[in-house]
Structure formats: structure tokens, C-alpha cells
Structure 1
Amino acid sequence: MNTRNTFRSTTALAMGILTATAITAACGTENTDTPAITTTAQPALNGPEGSQKAPEQQASEAAIAKVNEFFAVLARVESDPTIDINTLDTVASGTILDQVKANVTLRRSQGIVSTGALNVVDATVTAVDAPIGEDGTPTSGSARADLRVCVDGSDYQQRRPDGSSTLDPNRIPRELGKPTLENVNWPDASGWRVISDSVNKSGTACDAP
């Protein structure tokens, strides 16, 4: 991902995709299953036992799931140049989507292929805003969620046709990302997309503020 980090790792670790290397980093594995992650401190509430989840919790859980999906889809696209690059439209939108596509297109033209994976090992929803009716149920509109994620890229690589790596051999194994997601089709859970990442420096450690 210049290159931004973690998402920059996903945008920064990989060549700076979010801003370049990171976002791109999340790919390169043949295993497209969504990786398990640990979630903490979600700003969402559970209703009484047996009741439906609160809209805030629905939004939080769906946003975290989309972050996982983002990395899985990016992994497929980066590791296999025959996969339609527009598959990325299902997980990102706006400027980030344009940057990721441009980065992947450039690397494909140079014969660079990703291997390994970027795994989200921790995710926290720091803010969520989702339309809710007077009766407390979700109403149609646009929802947003801010996340703080820690991405492990220790197994991730980008290799040129001669086998050499494009990545810094001294990069830190885990990087911080602060992605924002938007869902213009709320409350449809499939509408979430990564739209930005507020971490601007590649190599930002997960314990950074």
C-alpha cells in the first residue's frame, strides 16, 4: 500500500495501495476463506436475550465482515492475473478503489505476483453511524463505520518474474490500519465498502495511537 499502511498494508504493506502499497498487500493466497479475527470494544449494544441485535451492532459486525472480505478478494485478484479486476468493486469504492485497481494493473503489467496473505488479527469498531427509526429498527439510508485494525503481513510477499521481492525486507510484521467503510444501501448488509484509511504512514505499528 505511497503507500499507506495496513490498509496501507493493504494499502501500504503491499506497494502502497491505499496510498499505494498497503491495500494491495492483502493478497496473494490461494485460500480465499475469510480469515478469523478478534474483535474488541465494539460500540454496539445487544438487546435482551432472544431479541434482535441492535442496529449499531448489526452495522459493526457487517463492517468487520466486509474488512475481512476485502482482504480475501484482494488476495485473489493479486495472486491471479486472470481474475477480473472489477471484482474489487464488491469490497471498495471511491478513491481507494481507483488506487487499488491502478496499483494492481501496474503490477500485473510488470509480472509481479503476490504470495502469502495479510490477515486481520484484531479489529475494533471505533464509531458507527446508521439510520434508525423511532421504533429502534434500521431505516433506509447511508451508514458509516470507522475501524481500527491490526494486519499481520509477515507471510505476505510481492515477487517479480525473477523471484526477487518488491517489499522492504525490514518492514514490521504487523501494521495498523484505520479504515472507514460506508453502506449507501443500509440496512442491506452486503452494501458495505471500504472508502478510506486514515493511517498515512507505511510501517505504523498496531500499538500506535
Structure 2
Amino acid sequence: MVPGGYDAPRAPSTIDRLLVRKRIVNRLLCLLLAAFLSVAALAKPAQSADAVVTTMTEQVLAQGALTDAVSIKALVESAVMPHVDFRAMTARAVGPRWRTANEDQRARLMAGFEALLIRTYAGALSEAGGARFRLKRSAAVDASTTEVWSDVTVRGGREPIALNYRLALQDDRWKIVDVSVLGVWMVATYQTQFARVMERSGGIDGLIQELEARSKAP
């Protein structure tokens, strides 16, 4: 006892220190768990990958057969593009040289690529009237990527056309980043074509000119 009748402060024992540490660790774990649950709730997709593909495809098929470029472009812009990460798709198709392109070049590449795709698939859209869509299955590739398998049967009783999609989760939305028709993935196909064009034409500007020329061809 110290002068004045008071007991001297007791030094914390090993057990006391361990209890304090345990309480701190428990609080940190609780905070981490709360943060994890909050992030998981925010990252939950507003719409499943299956639903994105089904909604988009049925909206396109509901328009029936389209034959003029203006109507096809309007349909693509309204029904398809909101569900596509077209910047990422174009970047992958262009390949490593995308990183060296400036924003103006990138915008022209995206516009040219979109015009090319519309021209390429205009024939298929002209036969969309009466076509039937069937969702087959989906499977996760990894935590943020999934593939959706489907097919479309056009009028005339021909064999179904296999139409598969690869989607990436961005914030809380699934976005299409690649499409496979009859087993051929679109991005890989165009990546090979674009690489050849850039090799013989001198790079990004040569590819832009090629894409813009194709979009204006009769």
C-alpha cells in the first residue's frame, strides 16, 4: 500500500493482455465480416446472366424480319448494345495495339467495328421473323465470368443455330464480352483478321481506314 492508504496500480498480467488482444481481434473480425457482407450485397447482380441473354434475344426476335440498315442499327442500339461491353470487346479484337491508340482512334475503331458487325449479321436479322429462341444452360467460368448456351431455330425447319455468350460481371450487371455462332467465337475470329490488316497496312490507322471503307461499301 502506498502512502495515503491507496493500493498501488497492479501491472497487467499475461492473461489480462491476452483477453484484451482477443477482444480486439473479435472486433476486427466482426468489422471484416460486416464489410464482406456489404460488398457481397452490393455486388449481387440485378439480373442473372441467363435473364440478360433471354431478354435481349427475345426483344430482337420480337421485331421480326428487318431488311434495311437503319432499322437494324436502331434495333442493335436499343436492344443489344446496353447489354454489351463493346469497348472491351473491341479492345480484345484489336489486340495489344489498342493500348497505344488514342481516344479518337478508339472511338473510330468502335464505330467501325459496330458497323462491320451490323453488316455481317444483317442477313441473319432479315430471317429473324418467326425464329424461336431456346436457353439451354449456363456455367460459371470464374467468379466474374459466365457462359450461356442457347440456340435459335429460324423458319423453314432447319437445324437450330448454336448461339453462345460469354458475359463478365461489372459492378452489379452482366455484360456480354464475346459471342459464339456455331462454335466460332467472334472476338478471336476478328482478332486474327484485324492483326493481318494492321500488319499489312501499318497499324491502327490502317485498320480504321479498312473498317470505315467496309462500312461504306455497297
- The structure with the largest strand share of the pair is 1
Structure with greater proportional helix content: 2
TM over 0.5: no
Larger RCO of the pair (alpha carbons < 8 Å, separation 6+): 1
TM-score normalized with structure 1 length? 0.40
TM-score, normalised to structure 2, is: 0.39
